[in-house]
Chains A and B, each alone.
Chain A
Amino acid sequence: MTRALRRVAETLLVLLVLSVLTFLLTSLAPGDPAEEILRRGGVQPTAESVAVLRGELGLDRPLFSRYLRWLLGVLRGDFGRSYADRAPVAAEILSRVPATLRLAGTASLIAVGLAVLVSVRAALRPRALDSRIARVVTVAVAAVPPYIVGILLISVVAVGMRALPTGGDGSPGAVILPAVTLGLAGTATLLRLLRADLAAVARLPFVKLAVAKGLSARRTVMVHALRAAAPGAITAAGVVLAELLAGAVIVETLFAWPGVGQLAVTAIRQRDIPIVQAYVLLTALATVLVLTLADLCVSVADPRVRR
């Protein structure tokens, strides 16, 4: 119980530090939001109208008082209003969360599924041709940025075969290409960890005992070794899921996927700071939550950690 409380206190402290960093970094970033907003139509605004808008947005107040106002708002769930279209930021982000979750969820299913599949296969038959190919492909995919993978998938599957849409969220299949792009990026990380873990577990006495008992290779790997390797994999999966949330920014822009990441990119371009701040803070919060959740799962899966 005290451990849980300490964990909560730690998390809160992390979030407070995050809020300061988020606010400072976004507010001190170069570029004047008032000017960027007025210039969206492509016309350079006048100094007078920039000054008026700065006053309206409260950008002329001292940094610390802006931070306090913002933090008090955030604690009430009010992230302010978008500089660009004056819509409430919280509602704007909430409306886009489902799309991002659908994308990140599908992507992590793909990442975890592929990683488990390939690593189990590699553990069973390390010398087999498909294991070797999988190894090379994994390294290759890990080395190519998701943007390039996405472009390749678009030109082959969407433009060449016309099997799936190039982007947008107009049909049920539309999630596949962005999710595969995002998922492949996660697979590489996850796969390397899982394979190493499985290999390490394979040397442990209980695995040898299982083999000696006459258990089939499949059963040994799938039931015993995989479970022993699970804690490391779950931690890794948590990190990967957090990575996916971040990676969604690029993939959502490329595939015109109406998620939080796309919103953030547009907001960064326009210096729409309230949205950027909310995005950074909420992504950080999600990451902290996912990692905490992963820790909990590990303690369930691995009795040794429970103490």
Chain B
Amino acid sequence: MDRSRRGTRFPISAGTRGGVRPGARAVAVLGVAVLAALAACGGQGSAGQAEGRLVLAAPRDLAAGPEDPYFTHRTLRVWEPLVTLDDEMRPAPALATGWERADRGRRWTFTLRGGVRFSDGTPLTAEAVVANIERFRRIAPRPSAFFSLDAGMEAAYGKLAGVRAEAGKVVFTLAEPVADLPARLADFYSMIQAPSAFGPGGDFTGKPVGTGPYTLASWSKGQQVELAANPGYWGGKPAFDRIVVRTIPDANARVAALRAGEVAGLIDKGALLPGQVAAVAADGRFRVTRTPSVLTHYLTFNASRKPFADPRLREAVDLAIDRKAIAGKLLAGTAAPGSPFLSPVFGALSDPGVRSAYDPAGARRLVDAAGRPARPVSILISSSETGQFPYTDIAEVLRADLEDAGLPARVNVAEATRAVMEAGDYDLFLSAYSVPNGDPDYLFRRFLRSDAAWNRDRNLGYRSDVFDRLIDRAAAAGGADERRELYHGVQRLLADDRPMIPLAYQDNPVVTSTAVTGLVQSPAYLVDLAKLAPSR
């Protein structure tokens, strides 16, 4: 024992003669080498914004390649749609300057913007638009990194009987009346590119060829996209000649790149995590833009089994939850407490008359009246959602709120929530839902209608003829007022029935350096890169 310990000392170390010690010299050499390397690579300065060139970062690739139905995300502004959405999710003109409805919504005529050319120089024609619509219908259903051509596609084109060019206009004929066709087509589903960009199978043959203010200069997967200003853009040349959007998946690394001045802004969904916003906003070099998003955090009930088959206990949960604490503290003020089923980004369709209440005493009374459940209720969250939002913390707060009300609870973090839900082995499911096209019919029909696959397969146990009839009438409603009233009715019904309750409406904070102005974000996380300009 003693010998071995002594053995760790080299027996001859005392014999070293004077002069520079080898170890020390080697350390010095290494140190010099590192310093030299650092110096050689130094001087990055503010690469985030050089003359006419802007570098931004996003958490994911905003270009997905030639096999993707769109190739690039709408945010990059390489292509433009026929119809876009304004900040209240109402249809707004893009390549179509206007539209007319005829025959109670069986026929829609879109007028195209004049003098628009694709980036290859060919003009935008009604025939080109028809070719794009036909391509969409041919390749659907098709997954996309941005907006899969499935359910929303069905909502947009499901009732389409035909589309044709007629005297420079585009005419859609529908098998059944559709009151809000422009809204259903908005953004991704009415992307228009030069027909020559597509091969016979519908894939891109080369780069995307759009009409937008930027063209795709280069793209390397997992690293960055580089955009070049389109000199022939109908809306005038944008302020930056080049925009690079780097992909930085790690949230901490993204903010570090911003602080280091390598990027002049962070955009896209989840650009800043809720916990990062305060520190970045406090830094005078940056300007954080917070806009409401299409994402809402909901709590879904399993009403197909005890205890939540009892409406009194669903109401008890609704009253027991401290939504202000969840939105204000856990989501660090990046969300607003939820009340009506449709968040304020749905504009007038959201019913301001529905108000959620926080009433722990009332919740306790309801639990006492209904009887305490025999076993703890299970709060299910998905491990894939815990990265972006603090769902483990929120679930923990929910658990505490429920226990205060007399409902013992436990939290179950699952990798595959679908299997758990289909087995019916949950009582509450905390998750986020987005409706990027702002179409409430999509949400109601696909998730809550009595025959909806989600409702049926995942054991929500919500069956309501009243609800089914209301949403069918709302979808076919001709006038905006009628439609609004019907959807308000739907939300009042849901506030009583409580198959799902909204907990919080999520913002999506994005940020630019103060050297850049013009950052505008839509509720669907779209940023208009063409509006960005250097500040004077």
Contacts and interface: CB of A to CB of B under 8 A. Distances in A.
The answer to whether A binds B is yes
Interface string B248-262: 111011001101111
A178 to B, nearest CB: 10
B273 to A, nearest CB: 14
B457 A47 contact: yes
B248 A168 contact: yes
Contacts of B9: 126-127, 199
A239 interface: no
Nearest to B249: A253
A266 B42 CA distance: 30
B514 to A, nearest CB: 18
B11 A162 contact: no
B53 to A, nearest CB: 13
A256 B30 contact: no
B65 A256 contact: no
B459 interface: no
A301 interface: no
Contacts of B7: 199-200, 202-203
Contacts, number: 225
Q: Which of B141, B146, B295, B436 has the most CB of A within 10 A?
A: B141
B147 A41 contact: yes
A86 interface: yes
Interface string B1-16: 0000001111111011
B260 A162 contact: yes
A30 B416 contact: yes
B21 interface: yes
Contacts of B262: 158, 165-166
B454 A172 contact: no
Nearest to B153: A49
Contacts of B447: 44
A282 interface: no
Contact of B147 (A43, A96, A173, A198): A43
Contacts of B88: none
Contacts of B257: 165-167
B145 A40 contact: yes
Contacts of B39: 163
Contacts of B222: 96, 256, 258, 262-263, 266
A42 B436 contact: yes
A91 to B, nearest CB: 11
A65 interface: no
Interface residues of A, number: 80
A84 B223 contact: no
B415 A30 contact: yes
Nearest to A254: B250
Contacts of A161: 38
A38 B143 contact: yes
Interface string A210-232: 01000011101110000000000
Interface stretch (A7-15, A69-77, A117-125, A283-291): A117-125
B528 to A, nearest CB: 19
A44 B454 contact: yes
B403 interface: no
A262 B446 contact: no
Nearest to B257: A166
Given A32-B418, A44-B446, A130-B23, A166 B68 contact: no
B253 A46 contact: no
Nearest to B149: A49
A46 B23 CA distance: 66
A276 B147 CA distance: 23
B415 A31 contact: yes
Interface in B417-466: 418-419, 433-436, 446-447, 453-454, 457
A47 B37 contact: no
B8 A30 contact: no
Contact of B24 (A37, A130, A154, A169): A130
Contacts of B154: 46
A151 B252 contact: yes
Given A46-B453, A124-B10, A256 B436 contact: no
Contacts of A113: 30
Contacts of B252: 151, 154, 254
Contacts of B259: 155, 159
A176 B150 contact: no
Contacts of A85: 64-65, 67-68, 145
A34 to B, nearest CB: 8
Given A42-B434, A262-B222, A87 B253 contact: no
A89 to B, nearest CB: 13
A102 interface: no
Contacts of B67: 85-87
A162 B44 contact: yes
Contacts of B261: 162
A164 interface: yes
A217 B10 contact: yes
B247 A256 contact: yes
Interface in A98-133: 113, 117, 120-121, 123-127, 130
Contacts of B24: 121, 130
A125 B23 contact: yes
Interface in A36-65: 36-49, 52-53
B115 interface: no
A188 B68 CA distance: 45
A262 B97 CA distance: 43
B8 A43 contact: no
Interface of A: 29-32, 35-49, 52-53, 84-87, 96, 113, 117, 120-121, 123-127, 130, 151, 154-155, 157-159, 161-169, 171-174, 176, 198-200, 202-203, 207-208, 211, 216-218, 220-222, 253-256, 258, 262-263, 265-266, 269
27 contacts: A30-B415, A35-B418, A40-B144, A40-B146, A40-B148, A41-B146, A41-B147, A44-B454, A46-B150, A49-B148, A53-B141, A85-B145, A120-B22, A124-B22, A154-B256, A159-B256, A163-B39, A165-B41, A165-B260, A165-B262, A167-B250, A172-B40, A172-B41, A202-B10, A256-B248, A256-B250, A266-B249
Interface of B: 7-13, 15-17, 21-24, 26-27, 30, 37-42, 44-45, 64-65, 67-68, 141, 143-148, 150-152, 154, 220-224, 246-250, 252-253, 256-257, 259-262, 269, 295, 384, 414-416, 418-419, 433-436, 446-447, 453-454, 457
Given A125-B13, A169-B223, A256-B249, 10 more contacts: A45-B150, A113-B30, A124-B23, A154-B260, A158-B260, A171-B41, A208-B11, A217-B12, A255-B253, A256-B222
